[in-house]
């Protein structure tokens, strides 16, 4: 049997006395989009931050393409093929939008020998076009709205040509129409397209979202976290009826 693209085994992370991630285990296959849901404070962002290497788990293992990445540096993890967007967006605000993406294109994973500024610029433009903000490429990033900042984050992540893309609330702050557009872009990216240069298919994905209806339309499988623990793993169709899901959202009005 093929090795799963991502293997997370018994991951634990505490902040003081608080268990933000408690014995979390799951796999992601190469062709999957996995939804990661759960109430506020469930540990979703903390889990993604451990996969990207930004924070290190207290115990447990993370394997990517069969290799242990648990203690690797963020930079190495990006070069192996994992990229993400973050709940707290931090662009280089004084730089033009296109320069924000060109920085990602400079990663050794993305840049091949002999590829110089023109080609990097073209690639950054491709990523911006994909994200739908290429017409603003030369404006300063500080001029972007919340929704467009999200798009910039997506462009920066895909410019590294990831095999696993982690998205933390890609629909957050977007209008219903913008959400729909973003969902379509995500699906198109997953099916492979312009960003399939290193790999013929698009990246596998883990997507955190509170907008469950929009999320369920694009995911193959859902993992539900509550108080740091995986409380359910099911199909998008089964999620609204799942007792553990109903219980953890009960009274919070989110579902
Ligand atoms: N750096 C940190 N230091 C201390 N506590 C933290 C830190 N990061 C997260 N936490 C705590 O860990 C728990 C999980 O937080 P996390 O941000 O992972 O939740 P989440 O599921 O992403 O929530 P949301 O849906 O609101 O984004 C919360 O109780 C949070 O306050
Ligand atoms: Mg979060």
The Cα–Cα gap between 64 and 234 comes to 23
105, part of any domain: no
69, part of any domain: yes
- From 22, 44, 166, give the residue whose CB has the most ligand 1 atoms within 8 Å, as the site to mutate: 44
Residue 196 pLDDT? 45
- From 12, 15, 50, 225, give the residue whose CB has the most ligand 1 atoms within 8 Å, as the site to mutate: 15
Residue 156 pLDDT? 92
Residues of the domain holding 69: 6-90+160-249
From the CA of 37, how far away is ligand 2's center (Å)? 10
Residue 90 pLDDT? 80
Regions in the chain scoring below 50 on pLDDT: 196-199
Closest ligand relative to 40 C-alpha: 1
Nearest CA owner, ligand 1 atom 3? 15
pTM for this prediction: 0.85
The Cα–Cα gap between 158 and 137 comes to 16
34, part of any domain: yes
- Residues with a beta carbon under 5 angstroms from ion ligand 2: 44-45, 87
From the CA of 41, how far away is ligand 2's center (Å)? 7
Beta bridge pairs of residue 19: 14
Longest dimension (CA), the chain: 58
Closest ligand relative to 47 C-alpha: 1
152, part of any domain: no
127, part of any domain: no
pLDDT tens for residues 143-187? 998 888 888 999 999 888 899 999 999 998 888 998 998 898 899
From the CA of 225, how far away is ligand 1's center (Å)? 12
Residue 255 pLDDT? 54
21, part of any domain: yes
254, part of any domain: no
Domain containing residue 175: CATH number = 3.40.50.300
Grouping H, G, I as helix, E, B as strand and the rest as coil, residue 66 is coil
131, part of any domain: no
From the CA of 3, how far away is ligand 1's center (Å)? 30
Instruction: Report the domain count for the chain.
Output: 1
Q: Output the CA torsion sign for 211, 158, 54, 229.
A: positive
Binding-site residues, ligand 1, Cβ < 6 A: 15, 18, 20, 38, 40-46, 87
Residue 108 pLDDT? 67
pLDDT tens for residues 111-126? 655 556 778 888 899 8
Phi first, then psi, for residue 18 (nearest 5°) are: -95, 125
The Cα–Cα gap between 71 and 67 comes to 11
Q: State how far the alpha carbon of 245 is from the alpha carbons of 37, 46, 186, in Å.
A: 9, 20, 25
- Residue length, the chain? 255
């Amino acid at each position: 049997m093929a090795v799963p693209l991502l293997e997370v085994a018994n991951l634990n992370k505490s902040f003081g006395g608080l268990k933000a991630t408690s014995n979390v285990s799951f796999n992601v296959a190469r062709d999957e989009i996995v939804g990661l849901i759960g109430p506020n404070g469930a540990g979703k962002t903390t889990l993604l931050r451990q996969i990207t290497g930004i924070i290190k788990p207290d115990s447990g293992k993370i394997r990517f393409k069969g290799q242990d990445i648990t203690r690797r540096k963020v930079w190495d993890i990006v070069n192996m093929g994992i990229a993400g967007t973050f709940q707290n967006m931090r662009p280089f605000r004084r730089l033009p939008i296109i320069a924000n993406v060109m920085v990602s294109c400079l990663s050794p994973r993305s840049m091949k020998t002999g590829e110089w500024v023109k080609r990097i610029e073209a690639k950054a433009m491709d990523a911006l076009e994909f994200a739908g903000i290429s017409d603003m490429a030369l404006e300063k990033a500080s001029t972007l709205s919340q929704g467009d900042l999200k798009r910039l984050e997506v462009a920066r992540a895909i410019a590294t040509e990831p095999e696993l893309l982690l998205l933390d609330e890609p629909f957050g702050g977007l209008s219903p129409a913008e959400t729909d557009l973003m969902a379509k872009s995500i699906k198109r990216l997953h099916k492979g397209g312009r960003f399939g240069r290193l790999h013929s298919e698009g990246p596998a994905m883990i997507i955190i979202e509170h907008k469950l209806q929009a999320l369920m339309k694009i995911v193959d499988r859902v993992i539900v976290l509550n108080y740091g623990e995986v409380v359910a793993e099911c199909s998008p169709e089964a999620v609204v009826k799942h007792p553990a899901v109903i219980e953890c959202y009960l009274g919070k009005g989110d579902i």
